[in-house]
Structure 1
Amino acid sequence: MKKRTILLATSIAMSMLTGSSNSYADYGIAHVKKGSNTNGPDFQYWLDSSVASYGYTDIVKNAETNWNAVSGSTAKLWEISDAYASLAQIKIYVVYGSLGSGVYGAADYYNRLSNGALSTVYISDINNGSNYNFARIQLDAGSMSQWSWAERSMNTGHEIGHALGISHFEIAPAHSGSHWMKSGKFNLSSPTSEDANHLANKW
């Protein structure tokens, strides 16, 4: 959620907020990344075996279903098998306690080089228009061990939202209240209309 370093968009514990009202929409780079995945609005995602091991498969599927249902957006997510993992636009892993205290999830970005190596694409560059081949998402099951299903769904949807090209809802007074793309811990199993509007603006 908030950036832990320039390499990561991470989920940081913040004070709880309530309500879902907003004063106006803000589609600047603070909320919608200018750069995009090089595959456009079509996002194949691959699940590492850790996702099933920690019981997050249905939570990822919930994020897929809800983001795919956004009216007016051409962005689509679908899962691919291990045989096609190298083609994924999003790779999802679940870790346990390795992201650091108070960090619930992280998204970082890469380009694939012709020699097979990976080159990091920094969030600041993506915000200013650089594109990327794929995003790696890490969800920390240890940090979320006491969370409800809806809270874990919110955080998972949040990190996938980053991979889709949406940033944080942190610039006041826009987007007050609880949203998937706002930093924090919210009991939301589906995105709000403001989350949806931002995805439709991006794609």
Structure 2
Amino acid sequence: MPAAVQETNKAEHSDQMWKVLKIHLLRERARKKQEREQEVEEERLRKEREAREQQDVMTLGETREQISQLETKLQQLKEEKHQLFLQLKKVLNEDDNRRRQLVKENAEQMMAMQTMAVPPANMVPNGPSAASVQLYIQQQQQQQPRLVQPQQQSQVQPGFKTNATVKRPRSPSPPPPPPQQVPVSLYHAAAGYGYKPPPQAYQGSPQKLSNC
């Protein structure tokens, strides 16, 4: 009887020990599994963090490089703008100088034309010019043949006919008077004031007509 009880107690004790061992094994297995999962999660998080940090570093470097490139391009654009501004300023200055030169040349041409057309009062010569004296001599030469021709026709004898018309040689024109002896009225005639010489200037001397 006691032996059977002991065996029963041993069997119960063995069952309890097995149950306790089983529970312990299950707990250990679960703990290890949990630890393993936790390690895996930590490894994943670590990798993600490293990847993110690396990406941040790469993004920061690329951003710095892009900023450097943009700054270089901005500096180049500033230099081009400065050069274009200098060229524009130079072109405007040359255009302004050319315009001023044209205005100056036009003004000088206008002044020269006005001076040639109407001489100033302070530039009028005191005595008669050579042109006025020459004009007076030409007028005298043109008027003398007209005055001598009627006298020649009156001296031709009637009944005396010739095949060719006898021409009287032109009398030499009087030498031009010196500038200081020419009357001031000649200057007015040369200047266009409509001056007419006196009647006696158109008439020859009686001695010359009688000699003809």
Give the TM-score band, short-chain normalised.
Answer: under 0.3
TM-score normalized by the length of structure 2: 0.22
Bigger strand share: 1
More contact order relative to length (CA 8 Å, sep ≥ 6)? 1
Over alpha carbons, which structure has the higher Rg? 2
